[in-house]
Amino acid sequence: MMQIGSWTFPNPVFVAPMAGVTDRPYRRLCKALGAGHAVSEMAASNPKLWHSVKTSRRVDHTGEPDPVAVQIAGSDPAMMAEAAVFNIQKGAKIIDINMGCPAKKVCSVSSGSALLRDEARVVAILREVVDACAPYQIPVTLKTRTGWDRDSINAVRIAQLAEELGIAALTLHGRTRCDFYQGQAEYDTIKAVKAAIGIPVIANGDIDSPEKAKFVLDYTGADAVMIGRAAQGRPWIFREVAYYLQHQRFLAPPTNGEIEALLLEHLEDHYQFYGEFTGVRTARKHIGWYFAHLPAAKGWLDHINRIESTHEQLQSIQRWFSDQDAKAFFINPLARAS
């Protein structure tokens, strides 16, 4: 079992922080379905934004099992340190630093993976945040990419600096910033990083099945895997992967009835968290992910995207599952057959 600071995790299958996705309801659901650890979507380091509606939601961890891990993003070392303390006071037990986001709006302000082009700033941010968290005995982790582009791969150097400066664990996505999410993630750099440092390494990128998770762990020697996009609409992937890693056989996929119950539970929590107006709108993407593999559901999803009532949204989903033709078609290719 992997450890970060004083925290020991039940399995090495983690939820990736994804902006607009890994909110509190989603993290709670993933943890309930077997995720060993979950990191929040990134929170702003700018104090002017801390009391905005968006940031207030992102620092709301009510009912979330510990350890609560909050990812912070920014480019100013002092501001990042201040943000770390702010989030600790809001309940964070682990602080994660984002140096991997490839989004243009993030990189254009020298945050996220843009920091990989400025190692001096990387050092300053890591030092300031680690020092700020030390009095609270809060471990700091780092999520990053292999480099800015394929001509400037510097993940090993960044990882060594991170270890020297007191980072407790490192997550590495096997793409450069300029790769965005295109092509295939590569794992040779993750393997090289694991060989170069002694702190735990979490492998991230294109891990979408139990077999792929095992391959990546075996090939890289990483201590854990982190799953992001493959869990959208398929949150039970965490228990499938954890079971496979432990038993070397596949877990039976969830039944249609279980999928319905999970989706409805997810939505109820989602609505409570966001409220009626925002909840019905932000739920649409999650519903779309659950049904994305069903060509016959396209017209129905168009209808879902026009609904403006949470009650009606739930009723529409219940009607879908109660329709025997639809239910027969909802054979679960989202989860592997055993």
- Structure-block tokens of residue 308: 């403006």
CB atoms within 10 A of CB 55: 19
Q: Regarding beta strands 224-227 and 13-15, do their DSSP bridges make them parallel or antiparallel, or are they unpaired?
A: parallel
| Residue 171 buriedness (CB in 10 A; 0-12 / 13-18 / 19+) | buried
Rg (Cα) of the chain, in Å, rounded? 20
CA distance 132 to 83: 10
Active site (catalytic) residues? 101
- Structure-block tokens of residue 334: 């989202």
Phi, psi of 182 (to 5 degrees): -85, 160
Give the helix/strand (H/E) hosting 123.
Answer: helix 119-133
Q: Which of 67, 220, 84, 89 is nearest to 146 (CA)?
A: 220
The string of DSSP codes covering 142-206 is EEEESBSSTT-B-HHHHHHHHHHTT--EEEEESS-GGGTT-S----HHHHHHHHH-SS-EEEESS
Cα angle for residues 105, 146, 239 (degrees, 5° grid): 90
State how far the alpha carbon of 306 is from the alpha carbons of 282, 283, 290, 300, in Å: 12, 12, 17, 10
- Structure-block tokens of residue 89: 């006071």
CA distance 83 to 80: 5
Asked if 19 and 42 touch (Cβ cutoff 8 Å), the reply is: yes
